[in-house]
Amino acid sequence: MIGGVLGFIGRHWRGILLWVLVAIGFWWSVATFGAGNVLQILFLIFATLFQLAFAILFVLIQFVALFWFLGRGRVYWIMPGGETGISFKDYRGNEQVLEVSARIVTLLRGVRDFKRMGGEVSRGLLLIGPPGTGKTYLAQAIATEAGVPFAYASAPGFQNMFMGVGNLRIMMLYGKARRLARKYGSAIIFIDEIDAVGTARTSQMGGGMGMMGGMFGGGMGMLNTLLLEMDPPNVDTSWKARILRRLGLRRGKAIQPVVLTIGATNIAEVLDQALLRPGRFDRKITIDAPDFDGRKDVIQYYMDKVRHDPDIDIDKIAADTVGYTPVSIKYLINEAAVVAHFEGRDYVSYTDFSEARETNEWGLRQPIRSMSEKERRRLAYHETGHAIAMALLQPENELYKVTIIRYGSALGLAASTPLEERYTQSREEILSEIKVALASRAAEELFLGTGLTGVTSDLQQATRLAMGYFGFYGMGNSFYSYLAMPSGLGGIDPDTKRRIEALLDEQYREVKQLLAEHADEVHIISERLLEELELHGEDVKEILESRGVKREPVGVAALTGYTSGLALGQQSNGPSDSPGPNGNPVDPPDNQVESSEETDGKSDS
């Protein structure tokens, strides 16, 4: 007994001494000043302390309220039963991605059974892919199918000019998600553009983007908070659970509610490795643009939502939209409906779709009515050079259109589409693309006797292909790769430049010889262009076949067709004569259609 008392005194002697001194001071004050005066002094002290405490509490409440307001951020919550209109039946174009997503939903629905089996539900799912491939759409479909609370947040929305606000927003978001997960079994947080806060710390210079956050590492602080919230320690987070554990009424391991974080990015390579490790984003799904069958599925889905020609060729539309994302296809179909509406029809045809696609890819159709006949002739021969080269050198592609009407910033263009989808290119295909790019200059030199400034993008394209030929694909006499060297290190050595120049010169001479051999066809097509301003691929094909011109296959198809255009403002002054390969004029054939002054009047057609 005595030992216990002495032990208590030993542990708490400072507190006991303080209270003894207070008691001595109180009785001394009573003896000196009288009981009435002491009570007045105590009341004054109490009133002063109360005012001070109230002022501190008021400032604290203001501070907490300010940070609560700033920490809310912009997060959209969709609760179970909320009508989003998006489910797995609305997600089209990628069956494999849908299958993986369905498994995740099954786990979220049966969390308790899966845990009893001894499994651990994934905490993170990272969706990787270009914009428009349906990452956000898929996340919403997962939430709808799982029947759990779904939060949509944009990572840049976490950033703030005040240090710590971004961290607070992340903590508040996950705090609410855990509360809802306890009620509904699980919850989903979708963070769009997660690279805004998840950039690797070794590449951050403070991060954060905000004034205070950027200077003092706010970006790194938000990343650290996100890492902790995605994989938190097993401790009780609710006040009820903490009280029960304090009272000894809750024993055993603390159980964290299941919160699935879905992140979306198109630059996964910049993310911090701690985010990508198992336990955080342990599942990664790459969502790319759909293939031919996927595009057919997407096109059919959106076509069913609008009135359209029952005979419209879905396969042809799918072939025309190589590389298009589901969002792009949806946009094109809606634009086709707009075109049809202003044409006075209540249904969409293939022509409407083609017009919408051309505007989307090339820009607004803007004929230049005041263009002189001389300028039109220059454009016609320039684009005919491209068209002839495409038609004769690229049998795996189909010439789509050649025009001297302005689209966007291009005064004219020639475009082709692949006959079938391909994912590789052969040596022969690269060389044929170089020839197609240089065919415009060859046509200018052959038939106009000069060079025009409109070949700027053509030369750039040809040079880029030649650089890849030697430096990326190992198709020259060296396997040296530029990609193995740090960016910008040393540039291109003089020997490689000479080889590139030699390759370009060789391809130029070959395509120039090709155009010289088909000079009559070049003249016919150019004059038809001057008359009609625009020719479809079938028109050019018909002209060539009528003259017995055939092309021979050179290899498998490229992934995308080549589009060449003479850019706005890249005209050149020069003679409009038509010299042949040796400098002598190449006369048009007897059946050549002569252009007339009425051409300008037809530019609206």
Tell me how far apart the alpha carbons of residues 84 and 102 are, in angstroms, rounded to a whole number.
18
Split at pLDDT 50, 70, 90, the class of 578 is very low
SS3 call for 75:
strand
- H-helix segments, 185-217: 195-198, 211-215
Give the model confidence (pLDDT) of 67-79 as tens digits: 667 666 688 888 8
Give the pLDDT score at 543. 94
Percent of the chain past pLDDT 90, that is, above it, reads 45
Residue 295 token pair: 């595009």
pLDDT mean over 232-239? 78
Contacts of 503 by beta carbon, 8 Å cutoff, 6+ apart: 434, 466, 469, 470, 476
Residue 107 token pair: 């786990």
Nearest to 97 by CA among 122, 118, 75, 125: 125
Between 59-68, 433-442, 584-593, the lowest mean confidence (pLDDT) is in 584-593
If you ran DSSP here, which 8-state letter would residue 527 be given?
Answer: H
Split at pLDDT 50, 70, 90, the class of 566 is low
Give the pLDDT score at 47. 83
Beta bridge partners of 566: 412
pLDDT mean over 137-146? 87
Give the pLDDT score at 2. 72
Give the pLDDT score at 45. 76
Give the pLDDT score at 451. 92
Split at pLDDT 50, 70, 90, the class of 38 is low
Give the model confidence (pLDDT) of 248-292 as tens digits: 777 777 778 889 999 999 999 999 999 999 889 988 999 999 999
pLDDT mean over 537-543? 93
Contact 184, 149 (CB under 8 A): yes
Split at pLDDT 50, 70, 90, the class of 579 is very low
Tell me how far apart the alpha carbons of residues 129 and 287 are, in angstroms, rounded to a whole number.
5
Q: Which of 193, 229, 383, 396 is catalytic?
A: 383
Tell me how far apart the alpha carbons of residues 139 and 152 are, in angstroms, rounded to a whole number.
9
Contact 397, 557 (CB under 8 A): yes
Contact 587, 429 (CB under 8 A): no
Query: Which one is predicted more confidently, 107 or 531?
Result: 531
Tell me how far apart the alpha carbons of residues 447 and 464 are, in angstroms, rounded to a whole number.
26
Nearest to 470 by CA among 461, 455, 482: 482
Nearest to 599 by CA among 308, 377, 267, 451: 377
pLDDT mean over 192-196? 92
Give the pLDDT score at 483. 79
Give the pLDDT score at 206. 43
Q: What is the pTM of this model?
A: 0.74
If you ran DSSP here, which 8-state letter would residue 188 be given?
Answer: E
Type of residue found at 409: S
How many other CB atoms are there within 10 angstroms of residue 82's CB atom? 11
* Residue 100 parent element (H or E): helix 95-109
Give the model confidence (pLDDT) of 195-207 as tens digits: 999 988 775 544 4
Split at pLDDT 50, 70, 90, the class of 62 is confident
- The per-residue b/e assignment along 165-200, b for 16 or more CB within 10 angstroms, e otherwise, is bbbbbbebbbebbbebbbebbbbbbbbbbbbbbbbb
Give the pLDDT score at 258. 87
DSSP string covering 419-467: SS--S---HHHHHHHHHHHHHHHHHIIIIISS--GGGHHHHHHHHHHHH
CA distances from 568 to 239, 414, 451, 543, 604 (A): 68, 15, 16, 29, 18
- What's the N-to-C CA distance of the chain in angstroms? 110
Tell me how far apart the alpha carbons of residues 489 and 19 are, in angstroms, rounded to a whole number.
76
pLDDT of 99 strictly over 50 = yes
Q: Which of 24-33, 111-120, 509-518 has the highest mean pLDDT?
A: 509-518
Give the pLDDT score at 112. 61
Give the pLDDT score at 582. 38
If you ran DSSP here, which 8-state letter would residue 80 be given?
Answer: T
If you ran DSSP here, which 8-state letter would residue 402 be given?
Answer: E
Tell me how far apart the alpha carbons of residues 179 and 259 are, in angstroms, rounded to a whole number.
10
Give the pLDDT score at 173. 92
Reply yes or no on whether 383 is catalytic: yes
CA distances from 319 to 37, 286, 296, 331 (A): 99, 23, 9, 17
Give the model confidence (pLDDT) of 45-55 as tens digits: 788 888 888 89
Beta bridge partners of 190: 152, 262
Average pLDDT of the chain, as a whole number: 81
Percent of the chain past pLDDT 70, that is, above it, reads 81
Query: Which one is predicted more confidently, 91 or 121?
Result: 91
pLDDT of 569 strictly over 50 = no
Tell me how far apart the alpha carbons of residues 74 and 186 are, in angstroms, rounded to a whole number.
21
pLDDT of 95 strictly over 60 = yes
Split at pLDDT 50, 70, 90, the class of 565 is low
Tell me how far apart the alpha carbons of residues 348 and 338 are, in angstroms, rounded to a whole number.
9
Split at pLDDT 50, 70, 90, the class of 84 is low
Split at pLDDT 50, 70, 90, the class of 209 is very low
